[in-house]
Structures are given as C-alpha cells and as structure tokens.
Amino acid sequence: MSEALASDSVAPAAAFGTAPTVRITRLYEACPQAVFDAWTKPDQLSQWLCPYDLKVAKVELDLRVGGAYSIVMRGEDDHEHHGVFEVIEPPQRLVMSWAGGGLKGVESRLTIGIEAAETESGRQGARMTLIHERFPDAETSANYQSGWNSAFDKLALALDA
C-alpha cells in the first residue's frame, strides 16, 4: 500500500521561472524495479496511468532515448498524451516530454526518480518522486496534481496485486 508523503505540492510560478511545477513523492511497498516496470511496460502501465474513472484505452512505448510514446485515456472523451523519452536509467530515473490532455498546446516534462527506501512498516520498498514541470498556468498544474495523485493511488493497488 502506498503512503503519501508531505512533499506533495504545486510550486508557485515565481519559484520556477514562468511555469508552476508539480512535485509528488510516494512510498510503495514494492522494489524499485517493480515501480520502474510499472512505468515502462505497457501491460502494467495500462492498469494504473489514468486518473479518476478514466481507463487506459491504448499504450504504445518505444522505450529508448529518443523513442516516442502515446497513451490514450478513455472517459466520456478520449485524452491522448504523448512525448519522447529523454533519459532512461533503470530502475532509478525516467525523463520524458509530456504533451496533450489539457496542457493547452504546451509540452511539459516529467522526471520520475525511484530509490530504495524503508516503508513505515519497516519493510524495504521504493520512494518514487514525480516532478512535472512546464505547465501553461497554475490552474493546469493544480489539475494535474490532482490527476497524478489519483493515478498514483491506482499504482499502489496495481503494485499490491
């Protein structure tokens, strides 16, 4: 089960230049490789990478630096997110561009850091930190913060399965 940590925030635009940044840290009772795999294997990604009652309709990943990805989330409408992998360092780090889905034409950037950590129960687990930057405005970053938190709750369930 995941444990939300205190570093869940939307940073003000002034702190990061012109665009707000979302930073979320979660602690999972799964090893770092399992968390990394949840981000990089389409069959696992499709179980959790969508907020609220949306479902993943399609995942395509070309998992290499410079490789593209596309994720289609389905609700009342389809929401496509796409980008390019910039850094892949298993199982510690992923960096990718992120576009589509409510970003008002802006290409944002995701950095996912994963490290071994002890959970509150004393077991070995993984601490995952997501930094999502380059939003067009504070409202969009706040919407994404909520969406990421919802998705990360689903990730906790997927890792527990």
Q: By the 8 A CB rule, do 63 and 70 touch?
A: no
pLDDT grade, residue 101 (50/70/90)? Answer: confident
- Residue 92 to residues 13, 67, 115, Cα–Cα distance (Å): 27, 18, 6
Assign domain 3-160 to its CATH superfamily.
START domain (3.30.530.20)
- Residue 108 to residues 58, 82, 126, 158, Cα–Cα distance (Å): 21, 10, 25, 26
Tokens of 28: 């999972």
For the stretch 115-131, pLDDT in tens is 999 998 899 999 999 99
pTM over 0.75: yes
Q: What is the pLDDT of residue 77?
A: 86
For the stretch 4-52, pLDDT in tens is 333 444 444 334 346 689 999 999 999 999 999 999 999 999 999 999 9
